[in-house]
Chains A and B, each alone.
Chain A
Amino acid sequence: MIKRFSMGTLLLYGTLGLLVIAYLLPAYLAFVTALKLPGEITLPRSWDLPAEMNWKSFSQAFSLLRPNIVNSIILAISATFLSTLLGSLNGYVFSKWKFRGSEIIFTLFLFGMFIPYQVILIPLFQTLRAMNLYGGLPGLILAHVVYGLPITSLIFRNFYAQIPSALIESAMLDRAGFFSIYTRIVFPLSIPGFVVTSLWQFTQIWNEFLWGICLTRYQSNPITVGLAQLAGGQAVSWNLPMAGSILAAIPVLLIYVFLGRYFIKGLLAGSVKE
């Protein structure tokens, strides 16, 4: 019995260990390549440790990508803030102020989450152009806010569904209205909801590429576009794109490592069901 148990455990840890190594290999490769000197990077020796640590790759990549990083920070923070706020209000209405047809509207909202974004691309930039928002960050922020609404409304709706209706009803008896219930009762309770939603939105917006490349001018390119540029020039030394990849990944990775619990909650809430 004991022996079988330990065999099973061994198998379990063995399999997990192998899988973890497989999952970490790409990260390892990115790091060693980033730390090598350009002359040292060759395909057949791509797994070897660098002979000499070339930390300069990071500062070089950073100086190349700095405008893009600044753009992405402005973009991600403002779009996350706006879409989360709107999503919270929507979620509040969808869960606590249901009216005839509100469920249908909610379902119609959700649909917006699942469309392939190619289908709205052409009218999107025509509209932004007509609104004089094409090319800069405001237009991109608007796009992210609008197409973020379905998911933020969904997460908040599911989140507010857990707030007992009795709480709302008793507040109504105290003659509290729509907005005062929101500011006095619902909003203070929804800090975890805000954390989950904004983490999710931040990740999505930070990582987005298609709109970044289609809707912004050169000076307003977000980080993903800058990185694709850096990696696209075929003859460039590979340490720079790798270092750039790591730089681009860091903000989201940090969020994930330190706030992983919330992140997973966000993932689960993002999957409609529950």
Chain B
Amino acid sequence: MRNISRDHIKAILTLLPSIILIGVFVYGFICNTFWTSMTDWGGSGALAENPEKNYIGLSNYRDLFTGFLGGGFRQDLVNAVFYSVSLLCGAIGLGLFIAILLDCKPRGEGFFRTAFLYPMSLSFIVTGTIWRWMLAPNGGVNILPSYVGMEKLPLKWLTSTRTILEFNWQNLWQVLLCVIAFFMIMAGLWKLKDETSRAGKRWIVIGVMTGTLAWLFGDILPKALFMEELHGFNLATLGIVMATIWQYSGYTMALYLAGFTGISQDMRDAAMLDGASSAGYYRFVALPMLRPITLSAIIILSHISLKMFDLIFAMTGPDNAETGHPALTMYLTTFRANDFAKGAAIAIVLFMIAATFIIPYLISSYRKGND
């Protein structure tokens, strides 16, 4: 027995360097950045050997979200949300579709798999360089149709100044409530389909009520900004979305494909015997079983889309406001405008967004691990 406990000490000692490294480099650094974001480190003299830093509380955050000059950041933030959502839908949808096709076991499956997965191995800088050329207004994708006798496309992939789904930042709370209501209704409908439980109905009722209230009486809510400021999804970002989907749909495909292979043939045969069609099999048997895979794909992809820096840097350069992203703004604010405190605040905002869905995920997987 004594022997074992000595071994346990050895085990802990083995782990210790890593614990210290992670403790300092992850948790310590996050705290440090958080502290920096509450100082006024910036402006002239910011680059001195020992720059002056004074504690100013949350005023950097206030500037970002409600300040006159935070408009660029707010637009980037809204754009990043849209970017994440379209990337998730695109990459998961396309990946799943290809996985189902390959699950039919066509001849040359190995070749197909390689062809869909190879973009994943590339660096974002490589992808960005190639796709910048692909999406040039007078070449690449736009002139492809002319090879089959059609008109050239007039799309301005990366430079369009059009914005869709605009909303006024003043009405931020109202919009947020409506979005929450929408998700509640959707969740309710989803539950209702599975089992006609009361829970589902309850979700719908609350959702509808929140939505209507927000819609009707939204004006009472405090204004998030002192002036009208429209933000929406910049269409120029679609080019970035396309390149990212190209790169990552192979990844979701591989995840799903492995999942499909993991489902035993017996299960499949049983489903077929029950009279399920192919579509029915995927819809009612395979997909529900692969929910954990979908979940991890969502986590990984949103993580990637939140820190997106390299691809935009290589595709449109750091200065194209139409394809802005907070990860890029952070770099520019910090290292070009010398506003270290504000750069740190942007980084913390990104971190908070990431944390809101990663912490619940980690907690649930921790609980599962303990069962």
List of A residues within 8 angstroms of B124 by Cβ: 207, 209
What is the interface size of chain B, counting residues whose CB is below 8 A from a CB of the partner?
A: 104
**Stretch from B85-93, B114-122, B210-218 that touches the partner:** B114-122
Contact with B along A245-274 (1 / 0, CB 8 A): 100110011011100100110011011110
Query: Which residues in chain B, 250-299, are within 8 Å of chain A measured between CB atoms?
Result: 250-251, 254-255, 258, 292-293, 295-297, 299
CB distance from A15 to the nearest CB of B (A): 6
Q: Is the CB of A122 within 8 A of B143?
A: no
Residues on A with C-beta less than 8 A from B354 are: 114-116
Q: Are B139 and A273 in contact (CB under 8 A)?
A: no
Give complex CA distance A265, B314 in Å.
29
A43 touches B125 (CB 8 A): no
CB of B48 within 8 A of chain A?
no
A112 within 8 A of B: yes
Compute how far the CA of A12 lies from the CA of B139 in the bound complex, rounded to whole angstroms: 30
How far is A94 from B4 in the complex, measured between Cα atoms in Å? 16
B54 located at the interface, meaning its Cβ lies under 8 Å from any Cβ of chain A in the complex: no
The answer to whether B134 touches A112, judged by C-beta atoms less than 8 angstroms apart, is: no
Q: Report if A116-B307 is in contact (Cβ < 8 Å); known contacts: A249-B123, A256-B118.
A: yes
* Chain A, residue nearest B32 (CB): A123
Contact among B19, B123, B362 for A224, CB-based, below 8 A: B123
CA–CA, A268 and B363, complex, Å: 20
B22 within 8 A of A: yes
Contact A105 to B19, CB < 8 A, known contacts A99-B12, A268-B254, A271-B293: yes
Query: Which of B71-79, B174-182, B327-335 touches A?
Result: B327-335
- Would you call A24 an interface residue if the criterion is a C-beta within 8 Å of the partner chain's C-beta atoms? yes
**SS of A interface (majority):** helix
- Across the interface, B258 reaches (CB within 8 A) one of A24, A46, A177, A268, namely A268
The reply to whether the CB of A107 lies closer than 8 angstroms to some CB of chain B is yes
B24-57, CB under 8 A of A: which get 1 and which 0? 1111111011001000000000000000000000
Contact with B along A180-195 (1 / 0, CB 8 A): 0000000000000000
Taking a contact as CB atoms under 8 Å apart, the answer to whether A119 and B122 are in contact is no
Q: Are A93 and B129 in contact (CB under 8 A)?
A: no
Annotate A17-60 by CB proximity to B: 1 below 8 A, 0 otherwise: 00110011111011001000000001111110000000000000
Inter-chain contact A209/B362, CB cutoff 8 Å:
no
For residue B203, CB closer than 8 A to chain A, the reply is no
Q: In the complex, which of the residues B28, B117, B130 contacts A245, with contact meaning CB atoms closer than 8 Å? A: B130
CA distance A44 to B314 in the complex (A): 22
Neighbouring A residues of B29 by C-beta, 8 Å: 119-120, 123-124, 127
Please name all residues of chain B whose beta carbon is closer than 8 Å to the beta carbon of A175 when the two chains form the complex: 3
Is there a chain A Cβ closer than 8 Å to B7's Cβ? yes
Of B15, B119, B331, most A-chain CB atoms within 10 Å: B15
Q: Mark B208-231, 1 if CB is under 8 A from A, else 0.
A: 000000000000000000000000
State which of B117, B130, B299 has its C-beta within 8 Å of the C-beta of A256.
B117
User: Does A218 belong to the interface (CB within 8 Å)?
Assistant: no
Q: Which residues in chain A, 213-236, are within 8 Å of chain B measured between CB atoms?
A: 214, 223-224, 227-228, 231-232
Q: How far is the CA of A19 from the CA of B7 in the complex (A)?
A: 55
B365 shortest CB reach to chain A, Å: 6
Distance between Cα atoms of A12 and B278 in the complex (Å): 13
B101 A149 Cβ-Cβ under 8 A: no
Q: Are A114 and B22 in contact (CB under 8 A)?
A: no
- Neighbouring A residues of B136 by C-beta, 8 Å: 43, 46
A210→B310 contact, CB < 8 A: yes
Q: Is the CB of A29 within 8 A of B140?
A: yes
Which residues of the partner chain A approach B117 to less than 8 Å between Cβ atoms?
256, 260, 263-264
Most-contacted residue by chain A among B12, B295, B346 (CB, 10 A): B12
Interface, chain A (partner B; CB < 8 A): 9, 12-13, 15-16, 19-20, 23-27, 29-30, 33, 42-47, 86, 89-90, 92-94, 97, 99, 102-112, 114-124, 127, 143, 146-147, 149-150, 153, 172, 175, 177-179, 203, 206-210, 214, 223-224, 227-228, 231-232, 238, 241-242, 244-245, 248-249, 252-253, 255-257, 260, 263-264, 267-268, 270-273
**14 residue pairs A–B, Cβ–Cβ below 8 Å:** A23-B118, A23-B250, A43-B138, A44-B138, A106-B369, A107-B362, A111-B359, A114-B303, A116-B307, A119-B348, A172-B3, A207-B125, A209-B310, A268-B258
Q: A116-B347, A256-B114, A273-B295 are in contact. List 13 more A-B contacts (CB 8 A).
A: A9-B106, A42-B139, A43-B136, A44-B138, A92-B14, A102-B15, A103-B369, A107-B365, A114-B303, A203-B121, A209-B125, A267-B120, A268-B258
List chain B positions with a Cβ less than 8 A from chain A.
3-4, 6-8, 10-12, 14-15, 17-19, 21-22, 24-30, 32-33, 36, 98, 101-102, 104, 106, 112-134, 136, 138-140, 143-144, 147, 246, 250-251, 254-255, 258, 292-293, 295-297, 299-300, 303, 306-307, 309-310, 313-314, 317, 327, 330-331, 334-335, 340, 343-344, 346-348, 350-351, 354, 358-359, 361-363, 365-366, 369-370
A-B complex: 6 closest residue pairs judged by Cβ atoms: A43-B139, A207-B123, A97-B11, A116-B307, A120-B29, A209-B310
